[in-house]
Amino acid sequence: MLPTTIPLDYYLILSAVLFVIGTVGVVTRRNAIIIFMSLELMLNAVNLTMVAFSSFLGDVAGQMFVFFIMAVAAAEAAVGLAIVLALYRGKQTVYVDEVNIMKW
């Protein structure tokens, strides 16, 4: 076991910073693929929180959740990228502000 002196709060702050970076990425970018990558950033920030709590509280449930989040993230990435492909075929663009078929 690695002896650690890093307090839990530092992990939480780091994870908060990463989550915010992901949010800013989702809001500011136009490229749908980069928006997906920012979503992965946000999911990873949450995963970090889960693992940190799991290790500090000595409870395996947090790591189980991370496992399930990873599975859902993989499913989301597969479906999302398929949608991007379909979109590109129909519209020749991956920029989200040029796609307005669902806008009223």
Partner 1 sequence: MLFAIGAIASAIFTITRRNPVSAAMSLVGHFFMLTGLYLTLSAEFVAAVQVLVYAGAIMVLVIFVIMLLNLGNEEQLTERVNMRKTFGALLGTLLAAQIIFMVTVKPTGMNELSKQAAAIGTTESIGQTLFTSYLFPFEAVSLLLLAALIGAVILAKRQLQ
Binding to partner 1 (CB under 8 A): which residues in 42-61?
44, 47-48, 51-52, 54-61
The span from the CA of 73 to the CA of 67, in Å, is 10
Q: Which residue type does 36 have? A: F
Convert residues 85-104 into a mask of x (bound to partner 1 by CB under 8 A) and - (unbound): xxxxxxx--xx-x-------
76 touches partner 1 (CB under 8 A): yes
The span from the CA of 89 to the CA of 3, in Å, is 53
18 touches partner 1 (CB under 8 A): yes
The span from the CA of 71 to the CA of 22, in Å, is 19
- Residue count, binding to partner 1 (CB under 8 A): 77
10 touches partner 1 (CB under 8 A): yes
Q: Which residue type does 82 have? A: A
